[in-house]
Amino acid sequence: MFSLSQSRKFTSVVVENLPEIPSEIMQQWIESPVGLRETLRTTLSFRQRYMIATEAYHNNGDISRHIDLDGQEEPCCNVCYVESEIGDSFFGRWFFGLGFFNVRFPKASTREVTEKEREDINRMLVKRGPSTVFNVIRRA
């Protein structure tokens, strides 16, 4: 059972870590908390995964990667990790790059990783620091 103190701390942590939410969606949830409840239920059961994206937005502005994805370019630069979805957007982070969190990826410019891309990316080794080497995608 939650104590009042624990409940307040939890609420504070949730608010501090919310992704940027468009004002229209906030207003809809104020007027109809059922939509918020459904979004929370969906988000908490959301399957986090790697995807390919070209458009991305952060509080600092447009951090999109405009790389041709018609099979001519390597998809590695466009790999993102999505952690939730709200409305017409996924939220997560670029796998490679400056480390922005709570990045908004419009669903219209984000897609699942194909099996061939997964295989190609899995063959890549990434070095982070002096000795850490790992494969990019380790789960579906």
pLDDT confidence of residue 46: 79
What span, in angstroms and rounded, lies between the C-alpha atoms of 82 and 77? 15
* Mean pLDDT, range 60-77, rounded to an integer: 66
The pLDDT of residue 107 is above 80: yes
Secondary-structure breakdown of the chain: helix, strand, coil percentages, each rounded to the nearest 5: 35, 25, 35
Q: What is the pLDDT of residues 10-46, one digit of tens each?
A: 888 888 888 888 888 889 999 988 888 887 877 777 7
What are 69-96's pLDDT values in tens digits? 455 555 567 889 898 888 899 999 998 7
- Write down how long the chain is: 140
pTM listed for this prediction: 0.59
Strands, E assignment, the chain: 49-53, 57-58, 61-62, 79-86, 89-94, 103-106, 110-112, 125-128, 132-135
